[in-house]
Structure 1
Amino acid sequence: MAGNAASTSPERDARAINSHHDDGVHPGEIAIGVIIGRTSEYFDFFVYAIASVIVFPQIVFPYLDRLTGTIWSFAIFALAFVARPLGSLIFLAVDRHFGRGIKLTIALFLLGSSTVAVAFLPNYAQIGWVSAAMLCAFRIGQGIALGGAWDGLSSLLAMNAPENRRGWYAMVPQIGAPLGLIVASGLFAYFLSNLSTADFLDWGWRYPFFVAFALNVVALFARLRIVVSPQYEASFDNLELQPSRVTATIRSDGWTIIVGAFAPLASFALFHMVTVFPISWILLFTHQDLATFLLVEIGGAAVCILAMIMSGLLADRFGRRTVLGSSAAAIAVYSGFAPQLLDMGPIGAAGFMFVGFILLGVAFGQSSGAVASGFSPQSRYTGSALTSDLAWLFGAGFAPLAALLLATRVGLIAAGLYLLSGALGTLAALAINKNLARKPD
């Protein structure tokens, strides 16, 4: 960035590519860069999430029963969401002093390094409790890196989108989530189907973590090309994508951050209820084949992409607030009966997954920056980053742990309470934000 420290080598390469395109980077190219970046992040996320259910309870907590081991594994899983705000604080400072390119390079290499480090994790039989301590450290590293991976590209995409296509372009970054799930689930399903249990637990589960590092390198270059584009630098110079100080942002836009964090809670809570929690329930309490169930997840993720596309069309016709509110109400209804389907055999579980993924696609497709327009240009970048961190922490970070604890102690119907609370949070946030919008400045 202008006025900042020297560019990284990847950043200079990205500028060289942009120099051959006199008309700059088009919204379609920004969209591709955003999708690649988000797919890489979510692939990292799902690789770790799946391993939290089928690997870590057996190799890190073998001295505990499977349920207790999974609960502890989910507790470590939540550490990334707790550490993510810290990562934002650290890397926003890096951004201000050294530029967006250097910040992204450091953050994505930290994310890739923390992820690939898990592939070398010794098990409990080798080093005892230190195995769990190392896993905690790697997970915290992932969370800090995710806070630094915030690049503002979703905001840039929205600012460059045609006025009547804002809902469509708001949906585009979210497609990375089901794409990441498809690749991660496919890899684990392949190894589970083709390796013995001993080989899978010895080395097979480690391979997807190596793949994650390679994807991060590709994603880094795709994002840097957008970050050094004329459109991005112009938005940076106009303060729309320039990081403001966290304390100043909280003082000026603290209420908007809080409301924004609660606006997508329904979709974020559902996110883990249909991607992570079902794997734990199927593995612990049913006799269904796990590899086959992962293929069901892949099918659900494909349906989710179609639902996301529909959400973009609906949002441009009826408005994003209407889509978010309607989907939150539908999720509230879903929470009252759907979890019980997991105990009704393969057909019931598939019904739970596919209906859930349809609702997830519609809701999650419009959850990105639900109230970002409420931020002033000077606070938009930092405010959006903090809002995203808090939304993931409140809505998703503890979802698998809370759902499993509620389901095992009270019953599957109780797991829907967590989901219901997210839906009510979204409806309340949308109502509050609508009332605020009516107030004079």
Structure 2
Amino acid sequence: MTAAPHQATPAAGKRRIPPGALKAYVASLTGTSLEYYDFAIYSVASALVFPKVFFPGNDEYVGLLLSFSTFAVGYLARPIGGVIFGRLGDKIGRKQVLVTTLLLIGIATVVIGALPGYATIGIAAPIILVLLRLAQGIGVGGEWGGAVLLSSEFGDAKRRGFWSSAAQIGPPAGNLMANGVLAVLAATLSTEDFLSWGWRVAFLASALLVGFGLLIRLKLEETPVFKAIQAHGEQPKAPIKEVFTKEPRALVSAALSRISPDVLYSLLTVFMAVYATKELGMSTSNVLTAILIGSAFQLVLIPAAGALTDRLNRRLVYGVAALGTAVYIPLFFVMIQDKSVITLTVGIVIGLAFHAFMYGPQAAYITEQFPARLRYAGSSLAYTLAGVVGGAIAPLVFTALFAASGNWFLIAGYLAVASIVTVFGLAIGRNPHTDEEERLLQEARA
């Protein structure tokens, strides 16, 4: 008796990788890796280099404050990029916008590496630095939403959690690359050489990442989903306006979903460097090593978490990780009071694992809150607006709470509130819908 015509063999049962999906995955990963590579090296330079090179003066704290203000400009500029490029991404396509954002971020980063200091060109030096940081922030504001759509719209809509996780691997990948470059420079240069010219190498090296990402993005076609939208003439005339007027619930849900993972990441990778060194007496290298080990685990955990939510309910997995964070952080602070480097490392690795199970499916969750024709604008707005009230202010809030109380209790409470806010955002969101994409693609092929 012959097998039924539609009976699946083991080989046939395997899900096929869509054409262009792997290239899109790499292209998405490259852009967000550049973003966080820049984030890591800029944060180091803001503390160690820029006060001396661009903001010299009699008061070193004034120079440090001015230097950190340029760091904040990058965050504040992101919503501008979300509006500009989010609108264009839904009107003219994902590919063209993503080439522009990659060039904007990359050129600004490289020019910072070549920018003469205050001693050479005077007041023009800090002014140009601020403008370059503004350009970086605008580029980043338009990069994330498009990078997510690039990988997810080339991939299988039913596996959006995995395919869209490409953009989410950027933070650990960028941190690892930046710290690798900085470690090599620190090991081979004297402090004087690093402050004189070595820091510039870290910025100029980003040109390699830009060139690689640009090569891939230029060879990619437009995403199949946008092609189908274009074929039907369904591009929105005013996508930003439509998001605010027709999708306010989706925008709120998507934005709130970011709060807990952003605040948690700031705690573990920014504030912990201060807390562990000043309160626990550990060295900076101990903390950085722990963060790097946690980041290495995230390279695997983030796509795994995204893939898991393709099989289980995405909001459920995300919400459990958020609530788990609220419970874990007090335990984490209790654990590390033994001042053991091993305990700190294990604690940060576990904390970043909780982050991975929110951050991995985050891109899929945010994009699927919006209809395909408004995805770029909606995702970019949610991502950038939430970043300003989440990750951007979290280190300042941690510092203020610790200064006011002298202990970690209020900080743990802050994380608990952030987790509850995220769970609320997930509760008002929607589960994945793939019918719209399947309809668009089927009609485009017909």
Residue 349 (structure 1) aligned with residue 344 (structure 2):
yes
Select the residue among 111, 134, 147 that pairs with 1:117: 111
How far apart are residue 71 of structure 1 and its match? 5.7
Q: Which residue of 2 aligns with 1:298?
A: 292
> CA contact under 8 A between 1:244 and 1:379: conserved in structure 2?
no
How far apart are residue 365 of structure 1 and its match? 0.7
Distance 1:51 1:356 in 2: 26
1:424 is aligned with what amino acid?
A: I
Select the residue among 368, 374, 377 that pairs with 2:369: 374
How far apart are residue 339 of structure 1 and its match? 5.0
Residue 432 (structure 1) aligned with residue 428 (structure 2):
yes
Structure (1 or 2) with the larger CA radius of gyration: 2
Q: Which residue of 1 aligns with 2:166?
A: 172
Residue 247 (structure 1) aligned with residue 237 (structure 2):
no
How far apart are residue 149 of structure 1 and its match? 2.5
How far apart are residue 108 of structure 1 and its match? 2.3
Structure 1: give runs of 5+ residues left out of the alignment. Answer: 1-22
Change (3 A) 1:203 1:56: same
> CA contact under 8 A between 2:82 and 2:381: conserved in structure 1?
yes
Q: Which residue of 1 aligns with 2:269?
A: 275
Q: Deviations over 1:192-230 (max 9, x none)?
A: 233222222222222111111331232123233334365
Q: Which residue of 2 aligns with 1:393?
A: 388
Distance 1:391 1:124 in 2: 35
1:419 is aligned with what amino acid?
A: L
Q: Which residue of 2 aligns with 1:323?
A: 317
Change (3 A) 1:230 1:378: closer
Structure 2: give runs of 5+ residues left out of the alignment. Answer: 1-16, 434-446
Distance 1:281 1:129 in 2: 35
> CA contact under 8 A between 2:94 and 2:223: conserved in structure 1?
no
- Secondary structure of the 2:35 match is helix
Q: Which residue of 2 aligns with 1:216?
A: 210
Change (3 A) 1:225 1:78: same
Q: Deviations over 1:120-172 (max 9, x none)?
A: 35556667776554433222111111123356342354345446533322333
Q: Which residue of 2 aligns with 1:359?
A: 354
How far apart are residue 302 of structure 1 and its match? 0.7
> CA contact under 8 A between 1:311 and 1:362: conserved in structure 2?
yes
Residue 28 (structure 1) aligned with residue 22 (structure 2):
yes
1:36-435 paired onto structure 2 within 5 Å: 36-57=30-51, 59=53, 60=55, 63-64=58-59, 73-92=67-86, 100-123=94-117, 132-150=126-144, 152-162=146-156, 165-228=159-222, 232-238=226-232, 244-281=238-275, 288-291=282-285, 293-339=287-333, 344=339, 346-413=341-408, 414-433=410-429
2:308 is aligned with what amino acid?
A: L
Distance 1:270 1:341 in 2: 17
2:369 is aligned with what amino acid?
A: G
1:251 is aligned with what amino acid?
A: T
2:416 is aligned with what amino acid?
A: L
How far apart are residue 188 of structure 1 and its match? 1.2
Q: Which residue of 2 aligns with 1:5?
A: none
Q: Deviations over 1:260-283 (max 9, x none)?
A: 100121112222222233344556
Question: Greater CA deviation, 56-65 or 211-220?
Answer: 56-65
Aligned length: 413
Q: Deviations over 1:273-305 (max 9, x none)?
A: 222333445566676444454333221111122
Change (3 A) 1:160 1:361: same
Change (3 A) 1:32 1:243: farther
> CA contact under 8 A between 1:168 and 1:313: conserved in structure 2?
yes
TM-score (norm 2): 0.80
How far apart are residue 317 of structure 1 and its match? 3.2
How far apart are residue 330 of structure 1 and its match? 1.4
- Secondary structure of the 2:363 match is coil
CA-based RMSD of the aligned residues comes to 3.4
1:178 is aligned with what amino acid?
A: P
Work out the percentage of aligned pairs sharing the same amino acid.
29
> CA contact under 8 A between 1:263 and 1:367: conserved in structure 2?
yes
Question: Greater CA deviation, 277-286 or 361-370?
Answer: 277-286
How far apart are residue 183 of structure 1 and its match? 0.3
How far apart are residue 253 of structure 1 and its match? 1.1
> CA contact under 8 A between 2:32 and 2:171: conserved in structure 1?
yes
Distance 1:221 1:84 in 2: 25
How far apart are residue 378 of structure 1 and its match? 2.7
Change (3 A) 1:356 1:126: farther
Change (3 A) 1:287 1:239: farther
- Secondary structure of the 1:25 match is coil
> CA contact under 8 A between 1:240 and 1:380: conserved in structure 2?
no
> CA contact under 8 A between 1:38 and 1:177: conserved in structure 2?
yes
Q: Which residue of 2 aligns with 1:19?
A: none
Change (3 A) 1:408 1:113: farther
> CA contact under 8 A between 2:270 and 2:395: conserved in structure 1?
yes
Distance 1:117 1:58 in 2: 18
- Secondary structure of the 1:379 match is helix
1:431 is aligned with what amino acid?
A: A
Distance 2:308 2:281 in 1: 40
> CA contact under 8 A between 2:153 and 2:224: conserved in structure 1?
no
Change (3 A) 1:55 1:293: farther
> CA contact under 8 A between 1:264 and 1:391: conserved in structure 2?
yes
Change (3 A) 1:151 1:359: closer
